[in-house]
Amino acid sequence: MSKERSEILMEYLVTRGFIWPSFEIYRSMVEVGGFYDYGPLGVELKRNIIEKWRRVFIYPYQDIIYEIETPIIMPEIVFQASGHLEHFTDYIVECLKCGRKYRADHLVEEELKKRGINIRTEGLSERDIEKLIIEHGIRCPQCGGELSKVYRFNLLFRTTIGPYSNNVGYIRPETAQGMFVSFPRVFDLAGRKLPFGIAQIGKVGRNEISPRQGLIRLREFSQMEIELFFDPKNPTCPFLDDVRDVTVRVVTEDEVKKAIEEGRDPVPIELKPKDIIERRIVPNEWMAFYMALAVVYLNELGIPVDHQYFLAKLPEERAHYAACAFDQMVYSERFGWIEVSGLAYRTDYDLSRHEKFSGRELRAERTLEKPIEVETVRVYPNPQKIREVYGDKAREVMKLIASIDEENARRLASGESIKLGDYVISPEMVFIKVEKRKITREKFVPHVVEPSFGIDRIVYVTLEHAFTLVDGDKILLKLPPDIAPIKVAVLPLVRKEPLVSIGVKIARELYRKGLKVLYDDDGSIGTRYSRCDELGIPIAITVDDRTVEDNTVTLRDRDTKMQVRAKISDVYNIVRSVIEDRKNLLNLGKELGLELVERA
Ligand code: GAP
């Protein structure tokens, strides 16, 4: 997008009340980048984008996907377990003269780009980045000062929970952890059957070093995520047929490596989900399924398939939990290719870690192909011997022996003494029974595939794709009707009675039916139609003199400006068909035999 166009878009989004930078009245006093408010139109648009996600990812699969909502603040142990305390870091570098801090990898990329050198820093170590800074003599872009060593900065926002300073908590950097932590409860509710998924939509926080680019890099943003749990021995996805014909553009890991070697941009190939699986581009069917569904989703938001592709992440570029990962990239005229969603194969990493840290079992069960015979050692207290050694403490010791674990039982059976609390237990103090049992089921930690969408980036690319300038400077926001914030406008042709009363009545009727409606009787009809186009309102209803005679109104199609004439009593159903069933207003008019009216 040319600078001018992108500036018009940003100005438009702010003045029309989609979004604006937060804390505006204090901006000159504090450094608070990376936060955006959503205004009335932005809230509606975001809500519709979220609802569309539910319609694509959850509702059709509601028999296995369960949406939950968990807290934004979580105790420290969650992030010790998840690995975020250790790994969720970015590289930072500081100007030794003016004290400004930069995200080191971004600074190197940008400064070298200015010199015509294109370099990828993803996956480089802090020493590698430092070497680049020294080699290329990169200095502070603001004051020209010398730069410090590169170090790691943890992006978690820290807080304390309650009045105790040692009770540390963090704002979640992904909604995912709430789902892993709640796994046993939701899994029980779902009948402990796999495959099964948990979905969550909500706010997250990342203390980004230098957030820029409006909605693209924020410190507080929203995500829509699914953790899909499956048995690694049975990784089949039963829904592949739903996406059989979807074309997915993919840049494979091999292509990424080749492109780096040859110093060129990677080239995506077009594949169907079946090919992606057969060519082993992904390690399981779920990854291919979610790739295709993500393409469908963005396409329904108005982003063409050739403006999207999946980019494989090399091992050194992946998040600490991922065994395989792809970024879903979307073309933005303003920012180039940007990542709007991440698809990761998280294996059993998270559940295993939470199992270890919480001591709670986070497992499913499967039936063994063949039953196996196992030997179990059981240990029972020998009261007489225990009393001889421990006298009046015997009852306490017997209680401890009753809850002995398998490992200690085996040690006693092999003639070793063990320690239980303060007591030494010798083999004479117990009776040992070795039993053979047939086992038909085994426990295992489910594996996870995770599609993770950043809502704010999706809001931006949706708006950018819909934003059209007609005849040079007239704005037309061509949002798909079900995504548009305002669904319908009601416009009396002129501000006079009874047109105004009829218009208000129609608008109120539509409010009551749950539609977002704009009533407007201010100014010329042409100006009002232009305002509707600017706000992306798919249908404008006009009340005119003929309405008074025959109870009909015109319905104007935003994109073609053509109109159909329909009875007031049919308006709601027509609007619903256009909004919800995505029917074209003019085709629908033809189907219903409605009168066609000239462009307006
Ligand atoms: N649970 C996995 C996860 O969080 P991620 O790739 O770190 O994965 C998922 O984040 C998505 O969140 C990204 O694809 C992007 O759309 C969005 N996102 C990440 N950081 C962001 C930021 N600072 N501002 C806005 N959106 C962001």
Closest Cα to atom 19 of ligand 1 = 454
Domain boundary among 154, 175, 193: 154
Residues 425 and 453 in one domain: no
Atom 18, ligand 1: residue with shortest CA distance: 454
Rounded alpha-carbon distances, angstroms, from residue 256 to 125, 214, 264, 276, 445:
19, 28, 10, 16, 32
Distance 173 CA to ligand 1 centre (A): 9
Query: Do residue 324 and residue 182 come from a single domain?
Result: yes
The closest residue, in CA terms, to atom 2 on ligand 1 is 452
Count of domains forming the chain = 4
Ligand 1 neighbourhood includes 328 CB (under 6 angstroms): no
Q: CATH no. for residue 95?
A: 3.30.40.230
In a shared domain, residues 149 and 161: no
Q: Among 102, 137, 154, where does a domain finish? A: 154
Listed residue (431, 445, 452) closest to 363, CA to CA? 445
> In ligand 1, which atom is closest to the CA atom of 174?
4
Measured in angstroms, how far is the CA atom of residue 298 from the centroid of ligand 1? 16
Does 479 reside within a domain?
Answer: no
> Are 97 and 146 contained in the same domain?
yes
Any domain includes 481: no
Q: How far is the CA of 451 from the centre of ligand 1 (A)?
A: 11
> For a substitution probing ligand 1, which of 339, 448, 460, 462 has the most ligand atoms within 8 Å of its CB?
339
**In terms of residue numbers, what domain contains 110?**
89-154
Residue 221 Cβ inside 6 Å of ligand 1? The answer reads yes
With cut-offs at 50, 70 and 90, classify the pLDDT of residue 120.
confident
Mean pLDDT of 45-69: 98
CA dist 547 and 493 (Å) reads: 10
Residues 390 and 505 in one domain: no
Please tell me the distance from the alpha carbon of residue 462 to that of residue 53, in angstroms, as a whole number.
13
Which atom of ligand 1 is found nearest the CA of 339? 14
Backbone angles phi, psi at 477, to 5 degrees: -100, 100
Distance from the CA of 242 to the center of ligand 1, in angstroms? 27
348-398 residue pLDDT tens: 999 999 999 999 999 999 999 999 998 889 899 999 999 999 999 999 999
Q: Are residues 33 and 181 in the same domain?
A: yes
Residue 178, ligand 1, Cβ within 6 A: no
* Confidence band, pLDDT 50/70/90 cuts, at residue 2: low
**Closest atom, ligand 1, to C-alpha of 452:** 9
Q: Provide the token pair at 403.
A: 């809850």
What is the position in ligand 1's atom list of the atom closest to the CA of 344? Answer: 2
Pocket test for ligand 1, best of 74, 223, 448 (most atoms within 8 A of CB): 223
Task: Please report the atom of ligand 1 found closest to the CA of residue 176.
Answer: 1
The pLDDT tens digits of the residues spanning 177-194 come to 999 999 999 999 999 999
Q: Which of 125, 154, 183 is the last residue of a domain?
A: 154
Q: Decide if 82 is inside a domain.
A: no
Domain co-membership, 517 together with 586? yes
- What is the rounded end-to-end Cα distance, in angstroms, of the chain? 29
Residue 85: pLDDT band (50, 70, 90) is very high
Distance from the alpha carbon of residue 454 to the mean position of ligand 1, in angstroms: 5
Residue of 157, 179, 221 to mutate, ligand 1, most atoms within 8 A of C-beta: 221
Q: DSSP characters for 129-147?
A: HHHHHHHTT---TTT-PPB
CATH number, domain of 62, equals: 3.30.930.10
176 in ligand 1 pocket by Cβ < 6 Å?
yes
Does residue 197 have a pLDDT over 70? yes
Q: Is the CB of 217 under 6 A from ligand 1?
A: yes
Contacts of 266 (CB under 8 A, 6+ apart): 251, 255, 256, 258, 259, 311
180 Cβ contact list (under 8 Å, min separation 6): 82, 227, 350, 351, 354, 362
The CA dihedral of 518, 521, 524, 528, to the nearest 10 degrees, is: 0
Give the span between the Cα atoms of 347 and 328, in whole angstroms: 20
Average pLDDT over residues 485-510: 97
- 566: domain CATH number is 3.40.50.800
- Does any domain span residue 44? yes
Segment 300-355, tens digit of pLDDT: 999 999 999 999 999 999 999 999 999 999 999 999 999 999 999 999 999 999 99
Q: How many CB atoms lie within 10 A of CB 72?
A: 17
Ligand 1 geometric centre to CA of 74 (Å): 18
**Distance (Å) from CA 349 to ligand 1 centroid:** 19
pLDDT in tens, 530-572: 999 999 999 999 999 999 999 999 999 999 999 999 999 999 9
pLDDT tens-digit map of 256-305? 999 989 989 999 999 999 999 999 999 999 999 999 999 999 999 999 99
Amino acid at 561: K
182 within a domain of the structure (yes/no) = yes
Q: Is 206 in the pocket of ligand 1 (CB under 6 A)?
A: yes
What does the pLDDT read at residue 284? 97
How far out from the chain centre does Cα 74 lie?
A: 18
Is the same domain home to 287 and 343? yes
Tokens of 12: 């438009």
| 126 domain-assigned | yes
Phi then psi dihedrals of residue 589, to 5 deg: -55, -45
456 ligand 1 Cβ < 6 A: yes
Q: From the CA of 338, give the closest atom in ligand 1.
A: 16
What DSSP designation does 27 have? Answer: T
Residues 451 and 502 in one domain: no
Confidence of residue 1 (pLDDT cuts 50, 70, 90): low
Q: Which tokens hold the place of 243?
A: 């996406």
Both 191 and 255 in a single domain? yes
Is 60 exceeded by the pLDDT of residue 598?
yes
The predicted structure's pLDDT at residue 437: 87
Q: Give the global pTM.
A: 0.90
If you take atom 11 of ligand 1, which residue's CA is the nearest one? 454
541 pocket-lining for ligand 1 (C-beta < 6 Å) = no
Task: Decide if 477 is inside a domain.
Answer: no
Indicate whether 249 and 119 sit together in one domain.
no
Percentage of the chain with pLDDT > 90?
88
Nearest CA to ligand 1 atom 26: 454
Cα 600 from chain centroid (whole Å):
41
Determine if ligand 1 sits within 6 Å of the CB of residue 227: no
CA distance 104 to 114: 16
Confirm whether 478 is domain-assigned: no
pLDDT tens-place string over residues 408-432: 899 999 999 999 888 999 999 999 9
Please report the pLDDT score of residue 435 as a whole number: 86
308 plus 230 within the same structural domain = yes
